[in-house]
Amino acid sequence: MYNTATAAKDIVHKNYLKNLELPENYRLYQNFPQSFYKVTRIAFEIPRETNVRIVIYDVFGRDVRTLLNNELKAGSYEIKWNASNLDAGIYYYKIYADEFVDSKKILLLKN
């Protein structure tokens, strides 16, 4: 299976870029674009410094890739996922941060 953390260049701390206020709650957003061919972006918010883990799972619940497993400061983030090495299908991404856990569905298309 593919199970490696993302490179630092693939995650953006949007608060530093746009001088935004820090979030008050944890939140995981739907990826954009939701149906994609190669690359998609996943946004999330964390209200305090904590370890954040984002994992991609296939429809059988197998861990396909760990996108992130790092200590992050409070803020709004966006991470890029290049899924060009995976087969088309439905995948799920899940965030783990403190007691917060949430997941969303992704559709990977291929030509």
Q: What are the residue ranges spanned by the domains of the chain? A: 8-108
Rounded Cα gap, residues 62 and 69, in angstroms: 17
pLDDT (tens digit, 9 = 90+) per residue, 12-57?
776 554 556 889 999 999 998 877 878 899 999 999 999 999 999 9
Rounded Cα gap, residues 8 and 22, in angstroms: 21
Number of other CB atoms surrounding residue 106 within 10 Å? 21
The predicted pLDDT at position 51 comes to 97
Rounded Cα gap, residues 85 and 66, in angstroms: 14
CA distances to 9, 40, 104 from 31, in Å: 18, 6, 8
Q: Can you tell me the mean pLDDT for 92-109?
A: 96
- Asked whether residue 69 carries a pLDDT value surpassing 70, the answer given is yes
Query: Could you tell me which residue, 106 or 15, shows the higher pLDDT?
Result: 106
- How far does Cα 76 stand from its chain's mean position? 12
What phi-psi label fits residue 41: left (phi over 0), alpha (psi between -120 and 50 degrees) or beta?
beta
Give the fold, CATH level 3, of 8-108. Immunoglobulin-like (2.60.40)
- Cα-based angle 67, 69, 72 (whole degrees, multiple of 5): 115
Rounded Cα gap, residues 80 and 9, in angstroms: 9
The predicted model scores a pTM of: 0.84
